């Protein structure tokens, strides 16, 4: 999308913003000064209408986007339109007069083309909904849904079932839907395919029960509820109820607890705590708790979840470079640990992502050290282009010490708007960038942003987002901050804030002082390969560094590092080479030598866990010398030559260790067996065939 003076529609919203049109025009290279309207959505709406069908149209207003869209629709306009909020994000601030560079940056990002579409994940829901919870609330809402279904009040696509969890409530007079009772034991799945399991331990089989109430009347203790549950504390085992039930035989006190499992399209969970134990709930699973208002809002959503749906496939996974495991040993599990939906599970040496459960937070990609997991919506390259464009135009317009604020389009957007309407607004140097989830912006983009000229990067989390994301981001960013501080870039460059109230957010965003930046911004583009982007960013920051050190010590969990090998205990078995998923460890052909390429190491620890001699130790650090790109020798040894044919095989140290350890074993008590340890594989077989004096398994038993 591109724009000019005629298709860029600026408005100062009834003169509540100070817009320097000339400065904006120069920064955006429009050639002329754009017109600033005062009432574009009212008296000057004709100016907007006249610009339609003249090319791309960018309107610097989001409040009246519906109005402008309706006008364009009525005019049968085919002009692509974008709406940019420059009011709450820039103009409405106590630094609004200094916000022109930020406004230019926000408009410049809108000029970029839309990201390429990604593959979709399909869902199909036929409206089978299970209401789970205490009997009174569950049956009441089930009755309303069933009535709306039969009355044609907009929820006709729903088919209702109920699982009563407390045995209370009163069953309806009509059997219009299934009602079960029991203790839920598990919920899994996603929209259209939820599997719910529960244990039925009630003596009354609700499928057989005719609800004739004969048992209720017959029970002398009143131990049977209106939901046809037997209260064990009241029951005195008279068994009058069994007699009253008669030939229906719905009551059986000898009935063993039954585990039942059914599939549903939707789940309305009215329990105090959601039965879904993970942090984020999947689409189609609504858990409003016991608040009647929240329950009503949840029920209103159910009718919108019937039909066929599609969402983007938010991730891309390359198992070839995944450092999760090798040969049964587990290395990195950061993506599994951070995923709040349980979408990522271990699959042996690799991981598996259930795309239907993935909500697109991108936390897995942010913590992945190798780049095996990447965020595809938007792609890294698309996000990088937005950031570079924003920072470039911001500088050209005279802006300094830019701070990027990543936030989502839900509660975070509302907080920014409320801060502008009721508080001081955002500082003029804080540029908000809306993403699907702030956790999708990892250390690669963070360091790259500083290399591109940002003074700081800030992440705005909100209470509806799992706090585990914030903690994971802080851990990762500590490594990036350590690198910047070691290079002499003083100040706080990264901050993850999870404040709830707007006043607290206001204090956070205004208290952040500008941090040191590189003198010359980098020009590289963000690579789809995470390690490449990190390498570009670190290389540029090192060249521009006030204190260009050679090595930066880091803490456990860093994505960079070296290995320390105890040469006294290492036998050069090279099991670590086979375990390394990143080709950081290498052998040397026919020479017993262990080599290491530090550039490739992600500190997954698989080599350390695989080493039978426990000779390997991880050394988290960032090596900024050229040696990081060259293989170094960690250990080497004298090769051992076969005592029969003189062919080199193994190492002398390894053969000596094996000989000592196996000398006391009964199988190697004889001289020939022990000598064969010193032979190559071929000579071992030949020696066994030639030695006729040894007992063979083929010899007949005497």
Q: Which two tokens stand for residue 102?
A: 């930020």
Burial class (CB in 10 A: 0-12, 13-18, 19+), 38: middle
Which has more confidence, 176 or 86? Answer: 86
Predicted pLDDT of residue 265: 97
How many whole angstroms separate alpha carbon 229 and alpha carbon 239? 14
Q: Enter the DSSP assignment of 195.
A: E
Dihedral of CA 291/297/303/305: which sign?
Answer: negative
* Position 521 pLDDT exceeds 90: yes
Which has more confidence, 279 or 606? Answer: 606
CA angle 414, 420, 426 (to 5 degrees): 100
* Position 201 pLDDT exceeds 80: yes
CA-wise closest residue to 371 among 488, 214, 542, 527: 527
Predicted pLDDT of residue 152: 42
Q: Do domains 313-375 and 561-636 have the same CATH topology?
A: yes
Answer whether the bond into residue 83 is a cis peptide, omega within 30°.
no
How many whole angstroms separate alpha carbon 642 and alpha carbon 627? 36
Predicted pLDDT of residue 701: 52
Predicted pLDDT of residue 693: 63
**Three-state secondary structure call for residue 131:** strand
Predicted pLDDT of residue 146: 86
Predicted pLDDT of residue 676: 84
Is the CB of residue 296 less than 8 Å from the CB of residue 110?
A: no
pLDDT tens figures, 416-464: 999 999 999 999 999 999 999 999 999 999 999 999 999 999 999 887 7
| pLDDT, average across residues 512-535 | 96
Predicted pLDDT of residue 71: 93
Q: Which two tokens stand for residue 596?
A: 């290491």
* Position 248 pLDDT exceeds 90: yes
Cα 10 to Cα 38, 274, 430, distances in angstroms: 8, 47, 21
Is the CB of residue 268 less than 8 Å from the CB of residue 131?
A: yes
pLDDT tens figures, 223-235: 998 889 898 889 9
* Position 22 pLDDT exceeds 80: yes
The alpha carbon of residue 418 and the mean position of all alpha carbons in its chain are separated, in whole angstroms, by 28
* Position 151 pLDDT exceeds 50: no
Write down the pTM of the prediction: 0.86
How many whole angstroms separate alpha carbon 66 and alpha carbon 44? 16
Q: Which two tokens stand for residue 602?
A: 């992600």
| pLDDT, average across residues 365-393 | 95
CA-wise closest residue to 359 among 114, 191, 499, 124: 191
Of the pLDDT bands very low, low, confident and very high (cuts 50, 70, 90), residue 698 is: low
Q: Which residues contact 79 (CB under 8 A, 6 or more apart)?
A: 7, 51, 52, 53, 54, 55, 56, 57, 72
Predicted pLDDT of residue 148: 67
Predicted pLDDT of residue 115: 85
Predicted pLDDT of residue 697: 52
Domain 313-375 architecture: 2-Layer Sandwich (3.30)
How many whole angstroms separate alpha carbon 468 and alpha carbon 465? 9
How many whole angstroms separate alpha carbon 26 and alpha carbon 4? 12
Q: 40-44, 198-202, 664-668 — which is least confidently predicted?
A: 664-668
| pLDDT, average across residues 674-688 | 85
**Which class is domain 561-636?**
alpha beta
* Position 2 pLDDT exceeds 70: no
CA angle 503, 504, 510 (to 5 degrees): 90
How many whole angstroms separate alpha carbon 639 and alpha carbon 661? 19
Cα 13 to Cα 87, 91, 330, 496, 651, distances in angstroms: 8, 10, 58, 32, 80
| pLDDT, average across residues 286-294 | 93
How many whole angstroms separate alpha carbon 81 and alpha carbon 117? 18
Predicted pLDDT of residue 596: 97
CATH 2.40.128 fits 123-309, yes or no: no
| pLDDT, average across residues 599-611 | 97
CA-wise closest residue to 382 among 312, 333, 429, 321: 312
pLDDT tens figures, 343-364: 999 999 999 999 999 999 999 9
Residue spans of the domains in the chain: they are: 1-83, 93-115+381-544, 123-309, 313-375, 561-636, 649-690
* Position 6 pLDDT exceeds 70: no
Burial class (CB in 10 A: 0-12, 13-18, 19+), 583: exposed
Cα 78 to Cα 44, 50, 62, 69, distances in angstroms: 21, 13, 19, 11
Percent share of the chain, pLDDT over 70: 95
| pLDDT, average across residues 241-251 | 94
Is the CB of residue 108 less than 8 Å from the CB of residue 382?
A: no
**Bridge partner residues of 178 (DSSP):** 161
Kindly write down the DSSP assignment for every residue of 391-460, as one continuous string.
Answer: HHHHHHTT--S-EEEEE-SSHHHHHHHHHHHHS----TTEEEEE-S-GGG--HHHHHHHHHTT-SEEEEE
Q: 266-280, 322-336, 509-523, 688-702 — which is least confidently predicted?
A: 688-702
Q: 26-35, 84-93, 157-166, 584-593 — which is least confidently predicted?
A: 584-593
| pLDDT, average across residues 186-193 | 94
What is the phi-psi region of residue 538: left when phi exceeds 0, alpha when psi lies from -120 to 50, beta otherwise?
A: alpha
Half-sphere exposure of 679 (CA within 13 A, CB side): 15
How many whole angstroms separate alpha carbon 106 and alpha carbon 90? 9
How many whole angstroms separate alpha carbon 486 and alpha carbon 381? 28
| pLDDT, average across residues 588-617 | 93
> Phi/psi at 257 (nearest 5 deg)?
-55, 135
* Position 594 pLDDT exceeds 60: yes
Cα 134 to Cα 147, 162, 208, 218, 622, distances in angstroms: 20, 10, 22, 25, 56
| pLDDT, average across residues 78-97 | 94
How many whole angstroms separate alpha carbon 658 and alpha carbon 677? 8
Q: Which two tokens stand for residue 486?
A: 């070691």
Percent share of the chain, pLDDT over 90: 71
pLDDT tens figures, 656-666: 777 777 777 76
Angle at which helices 380-396 and 530-544 cross, to 10°: 30
């Amino acid at each position: 999308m591109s724009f000019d003076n005629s298709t860029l529609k600026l408005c100062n919203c009834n003169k509540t913003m100070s817009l320097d049109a000339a400065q904006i025009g120069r920064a955006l290279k429009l050639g002329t000064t754009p017109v600033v309207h005062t009432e574009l959505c009212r008296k000057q709406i004709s100016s907007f209408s006249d610009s339609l069908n003249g090319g791309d149209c960018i309107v610097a207003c989001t409040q009246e986007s519906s109005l402008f869209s309706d006008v364009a629709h009525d005019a049968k306009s085919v002009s692509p339109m974008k709406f940019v909020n420059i009011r709450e994000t820039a103009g409405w601030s106590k630094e609004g007069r200094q916000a022109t560079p930020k406004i230019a940056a926000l408009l410049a990002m809108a000029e970029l083309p839309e990201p390429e579409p990604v593959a979709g994940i399909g869902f199909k829901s036929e409206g089978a909904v299970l209401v789970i919870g205490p009997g009174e609330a569950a049956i009441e809402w089930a009755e309303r849904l069933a009535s709306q279904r039969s009355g044609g009040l907009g929820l006709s696509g729903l088919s209702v079932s109920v699982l009563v969890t407390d045995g209370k409530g009163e069953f309806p007079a009509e059997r219009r839907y299934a009602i079960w009772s029991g203790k839920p034991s598990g919920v899994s799945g996603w929209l259209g395919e939820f599997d719910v399991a529960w244990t039925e331990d009630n003596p009354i089989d609700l499928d057989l029960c005719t609800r004739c109430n004969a048992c209720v009347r017959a029970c002398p203790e009143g131990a049977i509820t209106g939901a046809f549950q037997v209260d064990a504390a009241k029951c005195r085992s008279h068994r009058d109820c069994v007699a009253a039930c008669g030939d229906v035989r719905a009551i059986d006190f000898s009935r063993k607890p039954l585990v039942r499992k059914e599939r549903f399209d939707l789940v309305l969970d009215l329990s105090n705590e959601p039965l879904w134990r993970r942090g984020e709930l999947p689409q189609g699973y609504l858990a409003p708790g016991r608040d009647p208002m929240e329950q009503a809002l949840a029920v209103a959503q159910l009718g919108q979840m019937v039909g066929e749906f599609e969402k983007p496939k938010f991730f891309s996974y390359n198992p070839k470079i995944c450092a999760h495991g090798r040969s049964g040993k587990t290395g990195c599990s950061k993506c599994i640990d951070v995923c709040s939906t349980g979408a990522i599970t271990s699959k042996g040496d690799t991981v598996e992502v259930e795309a239907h459960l993935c909500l697109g937070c991108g936390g897995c990609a942010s913590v992945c050290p190798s780049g095996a997991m990447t965020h595809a919506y938007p792609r890294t390259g698309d996000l990088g282009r937005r950031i570079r464009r924003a920072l470039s135009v911001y500088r050209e317009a005279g802006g300094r010490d830019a701070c990027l604020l990543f936030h989502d389009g839900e509660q975070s957007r509302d907080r920014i708007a409320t801060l502008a309407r009721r508080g001081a607004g955002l500082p003029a140097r804080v540029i908000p960038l809306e993403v699907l989830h702030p956790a999708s912006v990892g250390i690669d983009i963070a360091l790259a942003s500083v290399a591109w000229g940002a003074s700081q990067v800030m992440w705005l989390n909100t209470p509806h987002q799992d706090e585990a994301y914030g903690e994971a981001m802080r851990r990762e960013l500590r490594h990036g901050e350590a690198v910047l501080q070691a290079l002499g870039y003083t100040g706080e460059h990264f901050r993850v804030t999870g404040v709830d109230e707007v006043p607290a957010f206001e204090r956070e965003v205004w208290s952040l002082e500008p941090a040191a930046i590189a003198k010359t911004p980098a020009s590289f583009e963000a690579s789809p390969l995470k390690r490449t982007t990190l390498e570009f960013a670190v290389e540029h920051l090192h060249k521009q560094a006030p204190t260009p050190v050679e090595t930066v010590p880091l803490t456990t969990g860093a994505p960079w590092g070296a290995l320390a090998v105890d040469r006294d205990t290492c036998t050069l078995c090279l099991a670590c080479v086979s375990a390394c998923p990143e080709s950081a460890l290498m052998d040397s052909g026919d020479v017993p030598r262990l080599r290491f390429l530090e550039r490739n190491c992600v500190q997954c620890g698989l080599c350390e866990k695989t080493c039978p001699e426990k000779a390997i130790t991880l050394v988290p650090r960032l090596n900024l010398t050229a040696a990081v790109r060259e293989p170094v020798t960690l250990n080497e040894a004298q090769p051992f030559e076969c005592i029969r044919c003189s062919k080199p095989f193994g190492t002398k140290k390894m053969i000596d260790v094996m000989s000592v350890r196996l000398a006391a074993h009964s199988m190697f008590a004889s001289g020939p067996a022990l000598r064969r340890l010193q032979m190559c594989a071929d000579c071992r077989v030949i020696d066994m065939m030639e030695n006729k004096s040894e007992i063979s398994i083929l010899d007949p038993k005497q």
